[in-house]
Amino acid sequence: MAKPSPSVSSDPGRLAPDDFVDGVLDVVAAIPPGRVMSYGQVAATIGSRSARGVGRVMAHHGNEVPWWRVVRAEGLPPSCHEVEALEHYLAEATPMAPRADGGYRLAASAFV
């Protein structure tokens, strides 16, 4: 019995690892300036339910794409990158809303 190649998943409902990474990066690269998607939205766009998988891809490959355009479902910027992300949001005129704690969240109108 032949083993599947590393880029082919044995589960027909699941993307192969390389396809998942490429899919995430392609979707993120296509998010327009001033707009955002949640990790879950990115996953759903490529036919997956793995928002955490998207987070792992972004942690390892995020510097290859506009990483600040992928946010938490609540509209919060990526953890530990709030200050750097804010610079990008301001430059792109991304709709934001202030929070009571002095922070910010992305406005619903910012989501693709």
Q: What is the DSSP string of 82-97?
A: HHHHHHHHHHTT--EE
63 SS3 class? helix
Domains of the chain: 17-110 (1.10.10.10)
| pLDDT tens digits for range 27-60 | 999 999 999 999 999 999 999 999 999 999 999 9
Q: What is the pLDDT of residue 11?
A: 45
Which pLDDT belongs to residue 18? 87
Q: Angle at the Cα of 60 (from 93 to 42), degrees rounded to 5?
A: 55
On whether the CB atoms of residues 37 and 27 are closer than 8 A, the answer is yes
What local confidence, expressed as pLDDT, does residue 16 receive?
A: 82
10 has a pLDDT exceeding 70? no
